[in-house]
Chain A
Amino acid sequence: MSGRFKTELDEVELDEAGLVALAQRLAGRLEDGGVIHLRGDLGAGKTTFARALLGALGVGTRIKSPTYSLIESYEVRGLPIHHLDLYRIAAPEELEFLGLSDLAVARFLLLAEWPERGGDALPAPDLIVHLAHAGPRRRLRLESETARGARWLGILSGQTSG
């Protein structure tokens, strides 16, 4: 039920299992790190997507929501991973408290929920994941912003259409 994902701009409707499966496939491509923005309303599936991705990367079973802590960090096989949730951020200047500039080492993976609240203070994305409610299912659209993001999408679309 993985949806017929074709290119970076196509919208697909997925159930939760499909969303999780897609995140897990993407996780297999992230060994060099990158920046992924997750956009969508409360309950649209951003955290489900992030959690599936982090789980597939091997961070363990306790994947706490960063809504209150703003940031949860992990390290897997030498790759620093940061899961951000900017829901409670009211102004980009507040990001200073997160010490993001210290985190942005040569190779890292950043997943950011509610990235629009961080403005320019947040690293630019390789990939934007747009999520929306569709009854019990979720509507998903992927948008690459860089060559790296386009490469991820190429791999994903090749896998799903083949």
Chain B
Amino acid sequence: MTHSIANTPHPETAGAGPVLGVETSCDETGVAVYDVARGLLAHTLYSQIKMHADYGGVVPELASRDHVRKLLPLIRETLRSAGMTTRNLGGVAYTAGPGLVGALLVGAACARALAWALDVPAIGVHHMEGHLLAPMLEADPPQPPYVALLVSGGHSMLIEVSGIGRYRLLGDTLDDAAGEAFDKTAKLMGLPYPGGPALAKLAESGAAGRFKFSRPMTDRPGLDFSFSGLKTQVLLAYQANAGEPGVKADIARGFEEAIVDTLAIKCRRALAQTGARRLVIAGGVGANKRLRAQLAEAAEGEGFRVYFPRPEFCTDNGAMIALAGALRLQAGLHEDAAIKVAPRWDLESLAAV
């Protein structure tokens, strides 16, 4: 099922008009409208996790990655809040990969068909490119070259961005992602799913220094991460101290410091290695307060600048897909009239714009 999606140049489609963006690569259904001249006009998200929390746990009916049922109402709502109809659209962008094949196909089929019916160009977008360009949705966007740290439940990557479509993977996780380490560690200590944010909250009341966990892979050169061993360290510490007062909070504090230190060390290393002076933080873990504070302090002390897109643009969303798609359509790229997805798709294989 691995194939690349080659956007082909098509001068006539060098797009004018708002672009609809559709994201369905994993759990979230996201839809947005972005216009290169006017910026983001609307974006909506149907959050899976929110539903779980509202219903006090995982409800099978809701837990299914049911983009089919959510997508059309979400597109209608998004267009309504942008004050337009499908007739106003100049193009349609969708996440073509990487992701779950069934989930991707829902968005791709819907978006490609809509573009065909409207006779406007369609463009398949790489999900990670969406994350990398998401800071451009903010008022004061970073200019390339910059280094992006993408940390979420599914990713822990450092990427050098030297232009649109010009990405180099500097480091990746060898096992668990940072957000996954948060969620699983929380679960080991009995916090409800998804426990990452709860663990971070608990860490605020924990004592520093009682538990000291390792900073994995910082004792050797390189920009890769490894977080699975921390889970075991926490489990052993938790079992050895179970029942003692404040143990959960103190462990949470030690754990969070280990993760944040590790991420900060690697970010500074990546900046030194590339010579970039701008650092972008993306992904759900980018909302972590200690991470933000520590990187802001490092930036101040070492003279680089750090950009934190607002949390709704850090996690999976339709706005970043609409933006990336609009920029590619503007450059004259588009898809032929076929529904194609790429569950596995190398970020470094993208065409520069």
Contact of A63 among B64, B100, B101, B174 (CB under 8 A): B174
Query: Which residues of B160-186 have CB atoms within 8 Å of chain A's CB atoms?
Result: 172-177, 179-180, 184
| Interfacial chain A residues near B84, Cβ < 8 Å | none
Q: Is the contact region of chain A dominated by helix, strand, or loop, or is it mixed?
A: loop
Contact of B177 among A64, A97, A99 (CB under 8 A): A64
- Nearest 4 CB-CB pairings of A with B: A97-B102, A68-B154, A90-B63, A91-B60
| Interfacial chain A residues near B239, Cβ < 8 Å | 135
State whether the Cβ of B26 lies closer than 8 Å to any Cβ in chain A: yes
| Interfacial chain A residues near B100, Cβ < 8 Å | 69-71, 97-99
B228 touches A47 (CB 8 A): yes
For the complex, give the distance between the alpha carbons of A144 and B240 in Å. Answer: 35
State whether the Cβ of B1 lies closer than 8 Å to any Cβ in chain A: yes
State whether the Cβ of B231 lies closer than 8 Å to any Cβ in chain A: yes
B26 touches A96 (CB 8 A): no
Query: Which residues of A37-71 have CB atoms within 8 Å of chain B's CB atoms?
Result: 42-43, 47-48, 51, 61-65, 67-71
Which one of A48, A91, A97 has the greatest number of beta carbons of chain B within 10 Å? A97
| Closest B residue by C-beta to A44 | B235
| Interfacial chain B residues near A120, Cβ < 8 Å | none
Query: What are 20 pairs between A and B in contact, CB < 8 Å?
Result: A42-B187, A43-B231, A43-B232, A47-B175, A51-B228, A63-B174, A64-B172, A64-B173, A65-B173, A65-B176, A65-B177, A65-B228, A69-B100, A90-B63, A91-B63, A93-B64, A97-B100, A99-B1, A99-B100, A99-B343
For the complex, give the distance between the alpha carbons of A65 and B224 in Å. Answer: 14
Name B's A-contacting residues (CB within 8 A): 1, 26, 58-61, 63-65, 99-103, 152-154, 172-177, 179-180, 184, 187-188, 224, 228, 231-232, 235-236, 239, 343-344
| Closest A residue by C-beta to B187 | A42
| Interfacial chain B residues near A67, Cβ < 8 Å | 153, 176, 180, 184
| Interfacial chain A residues near B99, Cβ < 8 Å | 69
| Interfacial chain B residues near A135, Cβ < 8 Å | 239
Known: A90-B64, A102-B1. A62 touches B173 (CB 8 A): yes
Contact of B172 among A42, A62, A99 (CB under 8 A): A62
A90 touches B26 (CB 8 A): no
B188 touches A65 (CB 8 A): no
Closest CB of chain B to A121's CB: distance in Å? 12
B175 touches A96 (CB 8 A): no
State whether the Cβ of A162 lies closer than 8 Å to any Cβ in chain B: no
State whether the Cβ of A78 lies closer than 8 Å to any Cβ in chain B: no
B175 touches A63 (CB 8 A): yes
